[in-house]
Amino acid sequence: MTGALTGIQVLDLSRILAGPWATQLLGDFGATIIKVEKPGEGDDTRRWGPPFVGGADAAEDGTAAYFLAANRNKRSIAVDFTTAEGQALLIDLAARSDVVVENYKVGGLAKYGLDYPSLRAVNPRLIYCSISGFGQDGPYAHRLGYDFLVQGMSGLMSVTGTAEGGPQKAGVALADIITGLYAGNAILAALHHREKTGEGQHIDVALLDCMVAAMANQALNHLASGRDPQPLGNGHPSIVPYDTFPTGDGHINLAVGNDGQFTRLCAVLAVPELSADPRFATNSQRVTNRAALTELLTERLTTAPSAHWLALLEAAAVPAGPINTLGQVFADPQVKHRGLALTLPHPVLGPVPGVACPVKLSGTPITDGQAPPALGADTATVLRDVLGLDQTRLAALAAAGVIGAPSGYSAGDGARNT
């Protein structure tokens, strides 16, 4: 069965996380992703470890878990585009591609003839997505942008953690991940537009823009009130009780979203009088009296272990849940049922772990996958099949250092766990 994007070819000039996350999603949907990497070095994340997959020498083979997280369903070609011949190869590939994705500094690819105006001249239907820290214009356009910096600049760190603990970033690179998702959506929109008009276009996606947009209700709280939201730990600025609470042997999360749920919570905790208390009868009153309610709920919850409360709360249809380690996540029966853990076989490394694409498509299901490729594993195949280069020409390019010789393993067919 073909994927939803089967027949779409993406020339992927991106590296690290935001760009690779976007192209991995497109690859999951069936697009052909040609990942361009520097010979002998490749994507920086190939060596962002430990942990590495594949044993003691894995660091030398570019098998960091970080790289594997964002590069499945891709073909790797090692091409040095600082050379005239390397530039010619990529321009030829762009002329035959539907999409180019890049995350170099603003204007950095122009001197190689790989910027949007240059490639549009050879392929007017091309969709060209530029991912940067701060966008293609504005006073910060030429600054280097990294996830950690943008988490701070976007306001995310000002509302994360506790007031006593100081500014805190999220535990994963949210600015990169969110930007990758916005970029993937923008590319799909541009493909739809091209289907109707035949026109390609340039997409400008910035980490700062995307993270500010992702501040969602917190951003609107500020714009509506003129006040800066403050960190509340795990609490919610607009809903109470919506927080982490201690129990007799640990902690649980409560996510009480309406007055009916609060009434049922009070019944489970054997304090029905709280739901009639004028301080707590409505959500707005509970927000105003957050501290007092939190203290009263904590007194009850600490009298029994987490499992006891979670069972009662589930039976009463009160939203509550555990705080899992990742080991517990992948042992969870719902996570296992949904097939979120992948095993992608390699001819050299053997089984390689991965996390599945979370999207379920009924007509074009995502059922198979290719393991993340070794550096340059597909160079000869792509240049032969797409550009028609023969073995003599490939050998000459390799001898001149324009393309790299494949290293390690090549991407093989993989399948989801079932």
Q: Which residues of 20-41 are buried (b: 16+ CB within 10 A; e: fewer)?
A: bbbbbbbbbbbbbbbbbbbbee
Tell me the residue type at 77: I
Cβ–Cβ under 8 Å, residues 220 and 145:
no
Tokens 């000869």 belong to 380
Give the dihedral sign, CA 224/227/233/235: negative
Cβ–Cβ under 8 Å, residues 310 and 249:
no
- Rounded to 10 degrees, what is the CA torsion of 355, 361, 362, 363? -120
The number of C-alpha atoms within 13 Å of 64 and in the hemisphere containing its C-beta is 16
CA 61 to CA 35: how far, in whole Å? 17
ω into 50 cis (within 30 of 0): yes
CA 277 to CA 367: how far, in whole Å? 53
Q: Which residues contact 274 (CB under 8 A, 6 or more apart)?
A: 266, 280, 293, 296
Catalytic residue flag (residue 385): no
148, two tokens: 């950690």
Q: Is residue 95 left, alpha or beta, with left meaning phi > 0 and alpha meaning psi from -120 to 50?
A: alpha
DSSP letters of 238-266? S-SSEEEEE-SSSEEEEE--SHHHHHHHH
Q: Which residues contact 24 (CB under 8 A, 6 or more apart)?
A: 33, 70, 71, 72, 73, 74
User: Which of 12, 43, 115, 176 is an active site residue?
Assistant: 176
285, two tokens: 């009153």
Cβ–Cβ under 8 Å, residues 300 and 269:
yes
Catalytic annotation, residues: 176
